[in-house]
């Protein structure tokens, strides 16, 4: 392999692996961009804010919520529905707030899954 000797002499720099955060995982799994994008991309920050809202409200693990978002996105895509991860999480947050207003215990994973059943 040529990369190892080249990086040893400083000619080829290893490509750093972006940090695997829940929001970056969700963005990478659900965004159609031709080139890889940095963890500092705007969409990653927007997903972070939405995951923070959901995780705080439901006391849920952010990676579990991101996984539910990916599953909902894939379910929608399989039916030909194009809904962004941001739209899925925003709709789920609205559903969670409705649950709270009705006096129910919030269930974020279920709210995210329900977004895949509505167009």
pTM of the model: 0.79
- The 3-state DSSP class for residue 114 equals helix
Best CA proximity match to 31, nearest among 82, 104, 84: 84
Q: Tell me the per-residue pLDDT of 42-90, one tens digit each, with 9 for 90 and over.
A: 999 999 999 999 998 988 899 999 999 999 999 999 999 999 999 999 9
């Amino acid at each position: 392999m040529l990369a190892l000797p080249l990086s040893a002499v400083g000619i080829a720099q290893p490509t750093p692996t972006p940090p695997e955060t829940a929001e970056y995982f969700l963005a990478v799994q659900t965004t159609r961009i031709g080139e890889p994008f940095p963890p500092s991309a705007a969409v990653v920050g927007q997903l972070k804010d939405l995951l923070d809202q959901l995780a705080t409200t439901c006391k849920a693990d952010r990676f579990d919520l991101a996984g539910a978002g990916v599953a909902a996105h894939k379910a929608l895509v399989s039916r030909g529905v194009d809904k962004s991860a941001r739209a899925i999480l925003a709709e789920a947050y609205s559903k969670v707030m409705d649950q709270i207003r009705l006096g129910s215990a919030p269930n974020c994973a279920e709210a995210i899954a329900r977004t895949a059943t509505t167009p």
